[in-house]
Amino acid sequence: MAEPTHAMTFSLWRIPAWMFARKPELVSLRAADLRYTCPVCGVQEPYVAANGFVRRECWCEYEARQRNGLEQFLAETGKAVAENRTSRTYTWLGDAGASRGLELKSFKGFVPHEHRDALTQATWYAARLTNGQYPGNMLLVGTPGTGKTHLAAAILNRLRTAEPPIACLFATAQGFFSALYAADFEQQREITMQAAETPLLVLDDLDKLHIGRRDNHEEEGEYQRKVLFDLLNRRYLSRLPTIITTNEQRDLSRWLDAATLSRLNESMTLLVMNGVDYRSSGGQLK
- Sheet containing 47-49: give its strands across: 27-28, 52-54, 47-49
> What whole-number distance in Å separates Cα of residue 194 and Cα of residue 197?
5
Is residue 152 pLDDT above 90, yes or no?
yes
Average pLDDT, the chain: 85
Predicted pLDDT at 1: 44
**What are the φ and ψ backbone dihedral angles of 111, each rounded to 5 degrees?**
-90, -50
- Do 112 and 275 touch, CB atoms closer than 8 A? yes
pLDDT band at 131 (very low <50, low <70, confident <90, very high): very high
What's this model's pTM, rounded to 2 decimal places?
0.69
Q: Which of 98-112, 170-184, 207-221, 256-270 has the lowest mean pLDDT?
A: 207-221
| Percentage of the chain modeled with pLDDT above 90 | 52
Predicted pLDDT at 3: 43
* Domains, the chain, with CATH or none: 1-86 (no CATH), 88-272 (3.40.50.300)
Angle at 146 between CA 212 and CA 139, to 5 degrees: 55
**Average pLDDT rounded to a whole number, residues 251-268:** 92
> Dihedral, CA atoms, 133, 137, 141, 146, nearest 10 degrees?
30
> What whole-number distance in Å separates Cα of residue 69 and Cα of residue 156?
33
Predicted pLDDT at 75: 62
Q: pLDDT tens across 33-64, in order?
A: 999 998 888 999 998 988 999 998 889 888 88
| Percentage of the chain modeled with pLDDT above 70 | 84
Residue 250: helix, strand or coil by DSSP?
coil
Q: C-alpha distances in angstroms, 156 versus 122, 153, 238?
A: 10, 5, 19
Angle at 109 between CA 104 and CA 111, to 5 degrees: 135
Q: pLDDT tens across 156-180, in order?
A: 999 998 988 888 999 999 999 999 9
Q: C-alpha distances in angstroms, 45 versus 8, 123, 206, 217?
A: 15, 60, 72, 83
